[in-house]
Amino acid sequence: MKPYAEVYLDDVVETQGKLFEYVAETFPEADFQKFCGNVYEKQDPSIY
């Protein structure tokens, strides 16, 4: 048994995609790689 249902994971991926699109459209001058690095790569997965 998987820890999360596929439907839930699909929704998460879709929602994150929409977030990234919003950021790219709203802040065209923003460095997308830096945004991803600051938000996602620096999180401590042990807190989840």
CA-to-CA distance for 26 and 44, rounded, in angstroms?
28
CA-to-CA distance for 14 and 19, rounded, in angstroms?
9
Residue 46: predicted pLDDT: 65
Residue 45: predicted pLDDT: 61
pLDDT digits (tens, 9 = 90+) for 2-29: 788 888 888 988 998 898 889 889 988 9
CA-to-CA distance for 34 and 37, rounded, in angstroms?
5
Residue 15: predicted pLDDT: 92
